[in-house]
Amino acid sequence: MVPAGILFEHPSSLEHDPREQLAEHPDTPQRIEAIDAALSGAGDLGWQRRLAPAAQRAELEAVHEPALLDRIERLCAAGGGQIDADTFVGEQSYRAALHASGGATALVRALCGGEARLGFALLRPSGHHAGRTRAMGFCLLNNVAVAAALALSQLGARRVFILDWDVHHGNGTAEIFRRRADVLFASIHQGGIYPGTGALADAGSGEGAGYTINLPVAAGTGGEVWRSLLEHIVIPAAAAFAPDLVLVSAGYDAHRDDPLGGCRLDTEDFAQLACQVRDLAVRAGAPVGLVLEGGYDPGALAACVLATMRAFAGEGAAQSIAPEPIYTARAASHVGHYWEL
């Protein structure tokens, strides 16, 4: 029996706990525990569950400088500490990060190898803020970037589309691929908050000009704006790009209940985003892999993960939405220089 998808997980995700260094830190193991509880309560969804391996050093060095890896490993081996104002590690954090990246690489190996058309790396710590030389924003290693680079260099992928719907801009991913034309990176995010990057006018550089799509929105923005930007800006560009692999940096902190974000999406909005991306992937004939990013209200996070898993597996229909007159028109005036919308 072909599984609906493959789910990668590892116990080390529960061992990384920044509260050992900062008691009130919002990135807690309870995030994974809430997801596990929701999956257990949902019954058999038809997904095959696998343990995530640890990433190999060469896979990590494809996107990160060796000195960064050494610094994180040494800090954890010494018992942990503070990397920046937001990022803390304990003794087991580097191990957790290796498995988080390893789950993402195992995910693309399975997808590119034809084992499944859908997968989810449900692991932490998150990764989309981590750059070539810097860990930041709760992120140690850039899991989705490591996976995309591996798919392109070793697994036969020629064009990878990465969608980041975390409320925070995926600055690390954007910078890693900003000069490349074989990765289309699109981010819908709240502007004016951490990390302060992701301006609409930033479309990449060099050979990668046009292959970065940044779509910032204001605090208080609801699902209708996010869905409009996805349907009328991102999806047409991604369809023209014709990816053979689709990856999603799946953060859920744009949910209205999240304590760190200021947007107003609900669970059904995330299901609709998933339906749109699912249908794009079907039309492109590309498999889809999701990599967990943010989401700091455990209940909302768990509900959204479950809803998007169901949507990507085929449940529900994408509902078209009219173009939002301000954000979508403004975005089209920029993105339309590079892509026919």
User: How far is 231 from 268, CA to CA, in rounded Å?
Assistant: 15
Q: Give backbone dihedrals phi and psi of 253, rounded to 5 degrees, phi first.
A: -85, 5
Which residues pair with residue 119 across a beta bridge? 6, 289
Give the H or E element holding residue 200: none
Task: List all residues 6 or more positions away from 312 whose beta carbon is below 8 Å from its beta carbon.
Answer: 5, 118, 274, 277, 278, 288, 290
Pair of tokens at residue 86: 């937001």
Task: List all residues 6 or more positions away from 81 whose beta carbon is below 8 Å from its beta carbon.
Answer: 21, 75, 88, 89
Q: Which of 10, 16, 64, 129 is catalytic?
A: 129
User: How far is 39 from 41, CA to CA, in rounded Å?
Assistant: 5
User: How far is 16 from 28, CA to CA, in rounded Å?
Assistant: 8
Active site residue 255: no
User: How far is 198 from 191, CA to CA, in rounded Å?
Assistant: 7
* Residues with catalytic roles: 129
